[in-house]
A and B are shown apart, each in its own frame.
Chain A
Amino acid sequence: MLKYLARRSIYMLVILFLSTIGIFYALRYASGDPSSSALNPLATEEQRDVFRDRIGLNDPIYEQYFRYMGTLLQGDLGESVVNGRQVSDQLRQNGKNSLILGLSALALSYLIAVPLGVLAAVRRNTWVDQSALGGAAAGMGVPNFWLALLLVWLFSLTLGWLPSAGCCSWQQLILPTLVLAAEGTAIIMRMVRSSVLEQMNQDFVRVLRAKGVPERKIIGRHVLRNALIPVISLSGLRFGQIIGYTLIVEVIFRWPGVGFLLVDATLRRDFPVVQFFSIMLIFFVVLANWLAELGYGIADPRIRRA
């Protein structure tokens, strides 16, 4: 278990390090020379150099990187070059919104997908199974922005039941959550289904029947526990994907979250904002994966007690 954990932790740290350095360096390069905007256009090259020196831009890149990370960890997240607002303020306001949206979508997708997957597996090849698989195919095939438009057209424009954009009432939460959860639900359902089917073909199921254990206990107690282990591992991935799709969904529904902020900042070339939120989101993706792997290691006794 320890060895397993150590390996996953190393991955996590390496990814974090590489990606944050990569982002930092790339954005430093992309954001160009601030001296042109800060100083008088007639300033000489020497004056620019002095300016750059003072800001610390002539220091080696890794020094700049560590300095940046240092200030980050102290809580100074930088400020937007577009509107001058503190990034930390924006984080506080929008972070909460994203969290609500993301967690709702994650919860919804699991709540639907797991029971549906088990049902489809147990009632294999019946209409239940076929329709679940068909629904999954649709959920995976339809692009999320298209689904969003369809839902908006149906529920907002035609039926008028739900608002089409904005924050933060529960009515406004519904449509974005549905769209965000759609793809994940399909994938999780298929995985649960195939995992359950795989377990049902295992030898120990036959032995359980030979012991006289009733079918419902076999499925509920034994098959399910084994089948859900890989699903745990999947959830880290799913969370990461949701973080990704949040970017699009928040923009479509004008949900003021971190994703919306990041996309907006990208379009406006607001580098400090892009930098911070990119790093932050990557951190969460990596963390989610690491936690999922940890969960997997705990759930499977073959790893836990290796």
Chain B
Amino acid sequence: MSTDAATLSDPSDPETGSVLSIKDLEVSLLFRDGSVQVVRDLTISVSEGETVALVGESGCGKTMTALSIMQLLPDPPARITRGSISLDGRELTTLKPKQMRKVRGDQISMVFQEPLTSFDPVFSIGSQLIEAIREHRSGVSKKDAREMSIDILREVQIPEAEKRIDAYPHELSGGMRQRVMIAMGLILNPRVLIADEPTTALDVTTQSQILELIKREQEQRQLGVLLITHNLAVVSQVADRVAVMYAGEIVEQGPADLIFSDPQHPYTQGLLRAIPDMNSARTFLLDIPGRVPDPRATPPACHFAPRCPHGIERCWQEAPKLERVDERHQLRCWNPQPLDEHVVPPDEWREDREA
């Protein structure tokens, strides 16, 4: 797998302390009569104690990215066809399956979206935690593993941990199950935690608690967190850096406050504008017209061109690369425009009013 010379310099270089570093990742689906790229030209990194949010609509490739880090892509048909992924400098894509297995759960952990179906229903949560421990630390006795499990359950604030440890997954609430999942991910003190939509299946109050929990653990353990979500509210609560993905590519990347206050890419702007805001004078909802392109027929140059409010000819002829706009801000766009506060309402709204 070749590593092309990047046209940008990564704000978090391997030499300056990033824990997880992905360069020029390309993930393809291979079929008998051709292949489809679902992730392309992806470069991103996560440092110790930093939360990076990977944001985008469903189908944009963010989950594929997460799975490729873990080498858990459903193969066939998905496969990493290009790029490198390294943990603390160690290349993961060339590891043999057995070696990668040792990394999973121990140095990189992943937390998933659906807490109920993520547990084996016929084993207690305790035995599933103990399993995680003893898989990677063969010397640990069952008793010690149980103690460790109770401790971490307390840490994630499960009440009566000594009793709950023997409970079955269906006996816990959704929020508690998610806590246990996080506990399972953290129990071996990994370097990186990947969280794929950890709060989407939960109600809003629980969401907040879970995010707080993740933040707290991160600070205590100096953990690197890659948070994958489509929910910008979640992002604003916990992210240090944000990378916005569209149709398999990162279109904008930078510090969270900057992205929220001064989004440059038209897609990012569209996302932010779509959030209903009680305080604004605007009385209609704005969405981004059009659909996400079918991965089998992506637009020839810029993927966002068909839906872009300020596209130019070049957007259809030459693919924009991810380039630095600022010290820590990157952008993939030929014609960025500042966020336009004077927005034209959609036609239906105007017709209603005029009637």
Using CB atoms and an 8 Å cutoff, list the residues of chain A in contact with chain B. Answer: 202-204, 206-214, 222, 225-226, 229, 299-302, 305
Contact of A203 with B112 at beta-carbon distance under 8 Å, contacts A211-B104, A300-B122 already known? yes
Query: Which residues of B have CB within 8 Å of A211?
Result: 104-105, 109, 131-132, 135, 184
Query: Which residues of A have CB within 8 Å of B103?
Result: 212
Query: Which residues of B have CB within 8 Å of A301?
Result: 121-122, 168, 170
Counting chain B residues whose Cβ lies within 8 A of the other chain, the interface size class is 20 to 34
- For chain B, residues 135 to 192, give those with C-beta under 8 angstroms from any C-beta of chain A: 135-136, 168, 170-171, 181, 184
Q: List 10 A-B contacts (CB under 8 A).
A: A204-B117, A204-B118, A204-B119, A206-B118, A209-B104, A211-B132, A212-B101, A213-B131, A226-B120, A226-B122
Q: Check B350 for interface membership: any CB of A closer than 8 A.
A: no
Query: Which residues of B have CB within 8 Å of A305?
Result: 168, 171
Q: Give the CA-CA distance A222 to B72 in the complex, in Å.
A: 18
Q: Check B114 for interface membership: any CB of A closer than 8 A.
A: yes
Contact yes or no, B120 A208, CB < 8 A = yes
Contact of A206 with B112 at beta-carbon distance under 8 Å, contacts A213-B131, A226-B120 already known? yes
CB of A43, distance to nearest CB on chain B (Å): 70
Q: Check B70 for interface membership: any CB of A closer than 8 A.
A: yes
Q: Give the CA-CA distance A229 to B123 in the complex, in Å.
A: 13
Contact yes or no, B72 A209, CB < 8 A = yes
Contact yes or no, B114 A203, CB < 8 A = yes
Considering the complex, give the chain B residue whose CB is closest to the CB of A305: B168
Considering the complex, give the chain A residue whose CB is closest to the CB of B117: A203
Query: Which residues of A have CB within 8 Å of B70?
Result: 210
Query: Which residues of A have CB within 8 Å of B136?
Result: 212
CB of A73, distance to nearest CB on chain B (Å): 40
Query: Which residues of B have CB within 8 Å of A222?
Result: 120, 123
CB of B66, distance to nearest CB on chain A (Å): 10
Choose among A203, A210, A226, A299 the residue with the greatest number of B CB atoms under 10 Å from its CB.
Answer: A210
Q: Give the CA-CA distance A214 to B110 in the complex, in Å.
A: 16
Main secondary structure of the interface of A (DSSP, over half): helix
Q: Give the CA-CA distance A305 to B121 in the complex, in Å.
A: 12
Q: Give the CA-CA distance A225 to B110 in the complex, in Å.
A: 24
Contact yes or no, B104 A302, CB < 8 A = no
Contact yes or no, A210 B122, CB < 8 A = no
Q: Check B102 for interface membership: any CB of A closer than 8 A.
A: yes
Q: Check B249 for interface membership: any CB of A closer than 8 A.
A: no
Using CB atoms and an 8 Å cutoff, list the residues of chain B in contact with chain A. Answer: 70, 72, 101-106, 109-110, 112, 114, 117-123, 131-132, 135-136, 168, 170-171, 181, 184
Q: Which of B72, B114, B121 contacts A210 (CB 8 A)?
A: B72
Contact yes or no, B171 A210, CB < 8 A = no
Query: Which residues of B have CB within 8 Å of A213?
Result: 101, 105, 131, 135
Query: Which residues of B have CB within 8 Å of A209?
Result: 72, 104
Query: Which residues of B have CB within 8 Å of A214?
Result: 101, 135
Given A208-B120, A212-B106, 15 new contacts (CB under 8 A): A204-B119, A206-B112, A207-B118, A209-B72, A211-B135, A211-B184, A212-B105, A213-B105, A213-B135, A214-B101, A226-B120, A300-B122, A301-B122, A302-B121, A302-B168
Q: Give the CA-CA distance A302 to B132 in the complex, in Å.
A: 23
Q: Give the CA-CA distance A204 to B113 in the complex, in Å.
A: 11
> Nearest 5 pairs between A and B by C-beta?
A212-B105, A212-B104, A211-B105, A203-B117, A210-B110
Query: Which residues of A have CB within 8 Å of B102?
Result: 212
Q: Give the CA-CA distance A213 to B134 in the complex, in Å.
A: 10
CB of B350, distance to nearest CB on chain A (Å): 46
Q: Give the CA-CA distance A300 to B120 in the complex, in Å.
A: 11
Considering the complex, give the chain B residue whose CB is closest to the CB of A205: B120
Contact yes or no, B72 A212, CB < 8 A = no
Query: Which residues of A have CB within 8 Å of B106?
Result: 212
Contact of A206 with B72 at beta-carbon distance under 8 Å, contacts A211-B132, A226-B122 already known? yes
CB of B289, distance to nearest CB on chain A (Å): 34
CB of B206, distance to nearest CB on chain A (Å): 19
Q: Give the CA-CA distance A189 to B211 in the complex, in Å.
A: 46
Considering the complex, give the chain A residue whose CB is closest to the CB of B121: A302
Contact of A202 with B117 at beta-carbon distance under 8 Å, contacts A209-B72, A212-B106, A226-B122 already known? yes
Considering the complex, give the chain A residue whose CB is closest to the CB of B114: A203
Q: Give the CA-CA distance A300 to B121 in the complex, in Å.
A: 8
Q: Give the CA-CA distance A299 to B121 in the complex, in Å.
A: 11
Choose among B109, B112, B120, B170 the residue with the greatest number of A CB atoms under 10 Å from its CB.
Answer: B120
Query: Which residues of A have CB within 8 Å of B112?
Result: 203, 206-207, 210
CB of A14, distance to nearest CB on chain B (Å): 31
Query: Which residues of A have CB within 8 Å of B118?
Result: 203-204, 206-207
CB of A133, distance to nearest CB on chain B (Å): 21
Q: Give the CA-CA distance A202 to B116 in the complex, in Å.
A: 11
CB of A158, distance to nearest CB on chain B (Å): 47
Query: Which residues of A have CB within 8 Å of B170?
Result: 301-302
Contact yes or no, A212 B168, CB < 8 A = no
Contact yes or no, B72 A229, CB < 8 A = no
Q: Give the CA-CA distance A301 to B128 in the complex, in Å.
A: 15
Q: Give the CA-CA distance A214 to B134 in the complex, in Å.
A: 12
Query: Which residues of B have CB within 8 Å of A204?
Result: 117-121
Query: Which residues of A have CB within 8 Å of B121?
Result: 204, 226, 300-302
Q: Give the CA-CA distance A291 to B103 in the complex, in Å.
A: 45
CB of B57, distance to nearest CB on chain A (Å): 22
CB of B81, distance to nearest CB on chain A (Å): 21
